[in-house]
């Protein structure tokens, strides 16, 4: 095992700026998957579980969504919410039991609501309630991708080290070109954030500047 005195951010920037870094590249058709941009994770002024990395994150997500809609490509939003009993959180909901605990994000609670800044087209966009980290796990996302004959998945939201990484691994495992716009994902601590951006860059996804992703979308017809 290699050791280093560099920070996770420094290591990530080395990987990002390596001119020899290989890419999976974009395909022909993408689906945008916005993972859990809900108040439990975005309302930093209200909830201890919330976090912010790039203050423009949600604005960028909305721009990506606008471009995908222009192309007639699916825009997916996921959120987590659980029954009063919390039993649908399974073993994941058993470590703690405080007001901030995962299984206490209840249906119809403020913590389960999408962030007020998120621009959802309720007639065209797809909304999935997920129970586990990956947006693919026991949702209809795979079927949606097959129906639309998509070969590329663009992932935004949070957290970088949790649901983003899990969704990226599942996406790559299912054979999709996986794109993570860097400014569109967030985490509680920069160490987790950059360590997982590094790992995804090296193994599972293309972590790109959001400007490059937007430029590619704008070039599509």
CA nearest to 144, candidates 130, 129, 126, 131: 126
Cβ burial 22-54 (10 Å sphere, 16+ → b, else e)? eeeebeebbbbbbbbbbbbbbbeeebebbbebe
Per-residue confidence (pLDDT) for residue 54, from 0 to 100: 98
Averages of pLDDT over runs of 10 residues in the chain (221 residues) are 95 95 96 98 98 98 98 98 98 96 98 98 97 98 98 98 98 98 98 98 98 98 90
Cα separation, 89 vs 93, whole angstroms: 5
Summarised one tens digit per residue, pLDDT across range 181-190 is: 999 999 999 9
DSSP 221: -
Cα separation, 136 vs 33, whole angstroms: 10
Peptide bond before residue 159 is cis, with ω within 30 degrees of 0: yes
Per-residue confidence (pLDDT) for residue 197, from 0 to 100: 98
């Amino acid at each position: 095992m290699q050791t280093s005195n560099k920070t996770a951010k420094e290591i990530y920037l080395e990987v990002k700026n390596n001119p020899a870094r290989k890419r999976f590249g974009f395909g022909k058709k993408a689906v945008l998957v916005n993972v859990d941009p809900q108040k439990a994770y975005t309302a930093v002024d209200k909830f201890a579980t919330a976090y912010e990395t790039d203050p423009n994150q949600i604005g960028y997500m909305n721009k990506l969504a606008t471009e995908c809609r222009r192309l007639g490509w699916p825009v997916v939003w996921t959120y987590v919410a659980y029954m009063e009993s919390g039993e649908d959180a399974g073993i994941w909901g058993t470590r703690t039991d405080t007001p901030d605990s995962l299984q206490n994000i209840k249906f119809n609670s403020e913590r389960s609501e999408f962030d007020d800044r998120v621009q959802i087209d309720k007639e065209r966009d797809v909304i999935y309630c997920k129970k586990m980290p990956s947006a693919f796990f026991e949702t209809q996302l795979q079927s949606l991708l097959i129906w639309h004959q998509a070969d590329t998945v663009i992932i935004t939201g949070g957290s970088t080290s949790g649901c983003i990484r899990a969704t990226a691994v599942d996406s790559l495992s299912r054979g999709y070109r996986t794109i993570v716009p860097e400014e569109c994902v967030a985490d509680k601590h920069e160490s987790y954030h950059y360590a997982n951006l590094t790992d995804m860059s090296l193994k599972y996804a293309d972590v790109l500047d959001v400007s490059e992703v937007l430029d590619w979308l704008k070039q599509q017809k």
